[in-house]
Structure 1
């Protein structure tokens, strides 16, 4: 008699990506301008990341530069990444903190064939370095049998990076080394959550470097007053650079003047909205015009609220040019207005176009010279990841999980739990992507005790979003980073 029981349904398993690229290593010698040398080994590898139940989440591409010195008892290891979300880590590597870098040329557009040199301002003298690509970027990939939605979000991404770091520490025998996190842009938001999660996994963090920081996403919402307040100092610095305002005044003095204007004058005016008396509106618009180089009547017509795209199109309009977003000192030829061009224009950025091809081409050649053969396409910036991002995040001590995350609470929680750790914030006066005013505002609302505030330091430089694209800023930041790492010996 035939078996009439229902056949067991087996979930279809997708085949994994095969084969994984084999790890590749090569020895180098880094030389400083003074003749100092560091012998180090660069390794490119795919590191498995697993969930608590052992399921493979995927493989993260990690590029490390590790000193060949046998004594690693006091040698830090720093995990570095860019942001996006959806950005790989090649820029913070070959652009700024790695042992090798692409030479920049001020605000000029680099040729596709980049010139490479030992990076005199690399973090390598202070720390071993591990550059990590987020899932779905670079060569990192989510396993086909794992749901990518679980890692493409504020919390899932931080969890994956935490697991990836622990796996690298395990494979390379580096537990109990001083551990640092270095993030840029969205990577600073990732830093805040990973900082907390590593502590919850019993892994101590010695220091966190936040370059071009965003902690609270509320200012990205339409009409948020903090957005307009944060932009004004950047506008002022940009107008000063192009000779449209503050001629003959030091760039930092002009930036600070605008910073103070926001705190003392503009903030209260924006809160009043259309209840601000006309004579007061006229007065404040005049002060703002002096600072940012746009006419008083134009600023009044906007209710003191100047959008970034409006500023970028307006400041150099008489020259037929627009400014950058990541770094507002970069400029390009303006686009004619066409129907529906706002979204297109917002995504156009000469400060990104000027460097991206040179950086990525050099990085690919570096990996090839090491013998690492990745997949067909290295995804420098994935819009698929960016547009799929889950922004829900429940900060410690709060109710619910809003879609406008504020990880300032995470970084404060992590510091309270680990009061021997330190945090360094880098800001750039020409950064219109993550304005420095907002960082100070967000941290000021935490009301940390003085003992913890003493563990935090802030440094502002001439750069835009990418510190490493500005040679002057990079040279100034180098000693500050070295001193920050040495402070681990003070406690």
Structure 2
């Protein structure tokens, strides 16, 4: 609904505007997320020193530029061929994905060239009996059994949870003088389960149209896209892809600015990012 309010700018933090860039569960039907997650997997492997010396010695952004080019180039084209991919091309994909992610070639092959998020979080450091976080893949955790397919919990959600809860309770009670016996829920399943998706049944949730409209109606609008390289919940390259597919005039892309952080989904937990 048009409210007659013109925004000077919009700041997006660890955002996703189209679930089509994230959904890995429609097996064989949506290959896009696998390519868009690849740079974040590569960044995670680089951080945990799981790559070859040739890659580990490189600057992160320089390394990721190469991975990005492959991800939406030869890799995505190969995935689009599905079962029709040749044996030679399949072998090349296995080699390249293994090289960029630190995963064993056999694992890439058994995953049908498509690396699912939670399997990656479990597999990358399996030989150390450690998992990596989804919200922030720099965090590591320990599962009850190292043999399972996916992590028991997300360590990057568990570890910051207690400090966040303590901090907000201190702020509410001491600074705001708000007294209540209600529990503070940093992540409420009750709330999430009540989200309604009636308008997107049989499709992907997508909010790019309102942003596109805002650009068209406001010639002065600027957008700042903030993201973390180690965010496996809303991967940075998926957001870049989305912004590049808004259908804007070329000149308007000068009004879109990107702010990358060597951090995860919640980059503000890092002193260097604040």
How does the TM-score come out when normalised to structure 2? 0.90
Q: Could you tell me which of 330, 334, 339 is aligned with 2:139? A: 330
Query: What is the aligned partner in structure 1 of residue 10 from structure 2?
Result: 208
Query: What is the aligned partner in structure 2 of residue 373 from structure 1?
Result: 179
The superposition leaves residues 60-118 of structure 1 with CA deviations (integer Å, 9 ceiling, x where unpaired) of xxxxxxxxxxxxxxxxxxxxxxxxxxxxxxxxxxxxxxxxxxxxxxxxxxxxxxxxxxx
Q: Could you tell me which of 183, 190, 195 is aligned with 1:384? A: 190
The superposition leaves residues 344-368 of structure 1 with CA deviations (integer Å, 9 ceiling, x where unpaired) of x36x111111111111111111121
Q: Distance in 2 between matches of 1:274 and 1:237?
A: 29
Query: What is the aligned partner in structure 2 of residue 156 from structure 1?
Result: none
Q: Does 1:434 align with 2:234?
A: yes
Alpha-carbon contact 1:326-1:466 (below 8 Å) kept:
yes
Alpha-carbon contact 2:13-2:225 (below 8 Å) kept:
yes
Q: Could you tell me which of 413, 425, 430 is aligned with 2:213? A: 413
Query: What is the aligned partner in structure 1 of residue 105 from structure 2?
Result: 296
**What are the within-5 Å matches in structure 2 for residues 246-325 of structure 1?**
246-325=55-134
RMSD: 2.0
Q: Does 1:350 align with 2:155?
A: yes
Query: What is the aligned partner in structure 2 of residue 422 from structure 1?
Result: 222
Q: Distance in 2 between matches of 1:445 and 1:216?
A: 11
Deviation at 1:227, TM superposition (A): 1.6
Alpha-carbon contact 1:285-1:296 (below 8 Å) kept:
yes
Change (3 A) 1:372 1:467: same
Q: Distance in 1 between matches of 2:101 and 2:264?
A: 17
Deviation at 1:239, TM superposition (A): 0.8
Q: Distance in 2 between matches of 1:449 and 1:204?
A: 20
Deviation at 1:447, TM superposition (A): 2.4
- Specify which structure has the bigger relative contact order, considering alpha-carbon pairs within 8 angstroms and separated by 6 or more residues: 2
Query: What is the aligned partner in structure 2 of residue 109 from structure 1?
Result: none
Deviation at 1:230, TM superposition (A): 1.6
SS at 1:329 equivalent:
coil
Query: What is the aligned partner in structure 2 of residue 118 from structure 1?
Result: none
Q: Does 1:241 align with 2:47?
A: yes
Unaligned runs of 5+ in 1: 1-196, 395-400, 476-491
**What are the within-5 Å matches in structure 2 for residues 105-184 of structure 1?**
none
SS at 1:365 equivalent:
helix
SS at 2:199 equivalent:
coil
Query: What is the aligned partner in structure 1 of residue 246 from structure 2?
Result: 446
Unaligned runs of 5+ in 2: none
Change (3 A) 1:386 1:260: same
Q: Distance in 2 between matches of 1:441 and 1:388?
A: 29
Alpha-carbon contact 2:46-2:60 (below 8 Å) kept:
yes
Q: Distance in 1 between matches of 2:72 and 2:259?
A: 19
Q: Which runs of 4+ in 1 moved over 3 A?
A: none
Change (3 A) 1:380 1:403: farther
Change (3 A) 1:264 1:421: same
**What are the within-5 Å matches in structure 2 for residues 62-81 of structure 1?**
none
How does the TM-score come out when normalised to structure 1? 0.51
Bigger helix share: 2
Deviation at 1:403, TM superposition (A): 4.9
Q: Distance in 2 between matches of 1:433 and 1:272?
A: 27
Deviation at 1:338, TM superposition (A): 8.2
Change (3 A) 1:403 1:372: farther
Alpha-carbon contact 2:39-2:237 (below 8 Å) kept:
yes
The superposition leaves residues 349-397 of structure 1 with CA deviations (integer Å, 9 ceiling, x where unpaired) of 1111111111111111112113122452233222112112112337xxx
Q: Distance in 2 between matches of 1:271 and 1:230?
A: 14
Bigger strand share: 1
Alpha-carbon contact 2:212-2:247 (below 8 Å) kept:
no
Q: Distance in 2 between matches of 1:457 and 1:309?
A: 30
SS at 2:258 equivalent:
strand
The superposition leaves residues 24-71 of structure 1 with CA deviations (integer Å, 9 ceiling, x where unpaired) of xxxxxxxxxxxxxxxxxxxxxxxxxxxxxxxxxxxxxxxxxxxxxxxx
Q: Distance in 1 between matches of 2:43 and 2:16?
A: 20
The superposition leaves residues 190-219 of structure 1 with CA deviations (integer Å, 9 ceiling, x where unpaired) of xxxxxxx5xx12222211110111001123
Query: What is the aligned partner in structure 1 of residue 168 from structure 2?
Result: 363
Deviation at 1:446, TM superposition (A): 2.1
Structure with higher Rg: it is 1
